[in-house]
Structure 1
Amino acid sequence: MVRKPRLWVPESFYHIVCRGNRRDALFKDIGDFKVFLHMLQEVNEQAPFELATYCLMTNHFHLQLRSQVQPVSKVMSLLNKRYADYYNTKNSITGHVFEKRYFDKIIYSNEDMLEISRYIHLNPLKAGMVKTPESYRWSSYRYYLYTKKSALLNSDVILDSFSGSVTEKREKYRMYLNEEIEKGQHLV
């Protein structure tokens, strides 16, 4: 059966999720996380994209990205192929690394951009991996809170939804996430 082609809307961001095969761990140690982030940077140089948020969980990852030069499917093909080759070689195995084709959803509104970024950043908290979202090392959330810049990340896409100075925008974003935490919806 022929796969249905994916829709590419160059001016839109996408929420992308990719899981390990059989929900197995994609990232078994710190080195795996680092290699993936390095590969993400390399793919960005080859097939440029804009990354708003990310979170690497143990058995899956989330990306909030936009590719205006090449289809998102090209970006994901490059990334997943590189990581699968690395993973299989490192672990001396063969076969599928990813469960199936990646999930993608086009983000049409600024409100949805904010909501998805919050969902991505709260994922480790929801999974019970950390007590605070900022304590999770493999998420872009720390970049949102502190002045440290990332060559790969464009946090302004989200932070510009808030008014004020950079410091005020960061605090408003923290409060935006904390509202959800206080509701108890992301606590295990």
Structure 2
Amino acid sequence: MPRRAREKSESGTYHVIWRGINRQILFENDEDRAKYLDYLQLYREKCGCRVLGYCLMDNHVHLLLAEGEEELSQVMKRLGVSYVHWYNRKYGRCGPLFQDRFRSEAVEDERYLLTALRYIHQNPRSLGISWETYPWSSYRGYMGQDSLLENDFVLGLFGRDRSKAIAEYQRFMQEESAKACLDAEMELLLSDQEANQMLQEQLHGLLPIELQHLGKEERDVALRGLKQLEGLSTRQIARLTGISQSVIVRA
């Protein structure tokens, strides 16, 4: 099946996710994460792109980038080649590390830009991690100095007064958002029929729709189990269970 053409952003701004091949770990330790950000800084300067947000998880990366002198695909190619070369040399391995094609979505307006940034910053909570203190995202960089980030542009959307803008930024980032944006598992790998069968097996014969009738604690335990299944997105689980995406994320 031919690949679908990548959506072109009129604004030149994209929310990007790149995952490890076969869900392989990309960062074994903090040195690896720091090296990836070093390369991101290098190609930010060489390619003229703007970094508006990032979050480094164990096996995938979220970026919010605005194109500069080079197109997104070229920036990501440079970044990927450099990091994989360094990683393979460090760990004595060979071959690809990232999936062959990163995913991206166009960000065309300021409101959605902030929504995508909030989604990126809150990403660590999917692993039960405190996203507000997570050291490998751009969240705290907006409240201080971070040479990698285009702080002024994003904070300027909240007002001209710097201290008030930071306070409004923090308030917005704290809000719950039911919109999933570009999810690490957004592309469905299973049909609804296949997924429904997998859910029933995980639930030991219970129909997915019957989760709605369980108590909150029992329901949330079941939802966490479903999220661990390979090839299912939050959106697909919501569709098959009748439970909203925001409830599934909070569980």
State the TM-score bracket (shorter-chain normalisation).
Answer: 0.7 to 0.9
Give the fraction of aligned pairs with identical amino acids, expressed as a percent: 32
Residue of structure 2 in register with 1:127 after alignment: 127
1:154 match: 150
Letter in 1 for 2:75: V
Asked if the contact 1:54/1:64 (under 8 Å) is kept, the reply is: yes
Instruction: State the match for 2:95 in structure 1.
Output: 95
Structure 2 equivalent of residue 187 of structure 1: 250
Moved over 6 A (4+): none
Q: Match for residue 26 of structure 1? A: 26
Out of 168, 172, 175, which is 2:171 matched to?
175
TM-score by length of 2: 0.67
1:134 alignment partner, SS class: coil
Contact 1:17–1:103 (CA under 8 A) maintained in structure 2: yes
Report the CA distance between 1:79 and its aligned residue. 0.2
- 1:165 is displaced (CA, Å) by 1.5
Aligned to 1:16, the other structure's residue is in SS state: strand
- Residues 186, 5 of structure 1: alpha-carbon distance in 2 compared, 3 angstrom cutoff: closer
Cα deviation for residue 122 of structure 1 reads 0.3
Unaligned 5+ residue runs, structure 2?
178-245
**Letter matched to residue 187 of structure 1:** R
**Cα root mean square deviation, aligned:** 2.2
Cα displacement (A) at 1:185 = 6.8
Aligned residues: 183
Note the C-alpha offset of 1:184: 6.6
Normalised TM-score (structure 1): 0.88
1:35 is displaced (CA, Å) by 0.4
Aligned to 1:53: 53
Larger radius of gyration: 2
Residue 49 of structure 1 and its aligned partner are, at CA, apart by 0.4
Alpha-carbon separation, structure 1, partners of 2:161 and 2:29? 38
Structure 1 Cα separation of the partners of residues 91 and 54 of structure 2: 25
Unaligned runs of at least 5 residues, structure 1: none
SS at 2:132 equivalent: helix
- Partner secondary structure for residue 105 of structure 1: strand
Alpha-carbon displacement from aligned partner over 1:158-185 (angstroms, at most 9, x marks no partner): 222212511111111111122218x777
Given that 2:47 and 2:75 are in contact with CA atoms closer than 8 Å, whether structure 1 keeps it comes out as yes
Q: Which residue of 2 aligns with 1:104?
A: 104
Paired AA for residue 58 in structure 1: D
Which amino acid is 1:134 matched to?
E
How far off is 1:115 after superposition? 0.5
The residue identity in structure 1 corresponding to 2:155 is L
Deviation at 1:100, TM superposition (A): 2.8
Q: Using CA pairs below 8 Å that are at least 6 residues apart, which structure has the higher relative contact order? A: 1
SS of the aligned residue for 2:35 comes to helix
- In structure 1, how many angstroms separate the alpha carbons of the residues matched to 2:41 and 2:168? 28
Counterpart Cα distance in 1 of 2:37 and 2:122:
19
- SS of the residue corresponding to residue 58 of structure 1 reads coil
C-alpha contact (below 8 Å) 2:18/2:62 kept by paired residues: yes
Kept in 2, the 8 Å contact 1:15–1:106? The answer is: yes
Alpha carbons 2:27, 2:59 under 8 Å: kept:
yes
Task: Report what 1:113 is aligned to.
Answer: 113
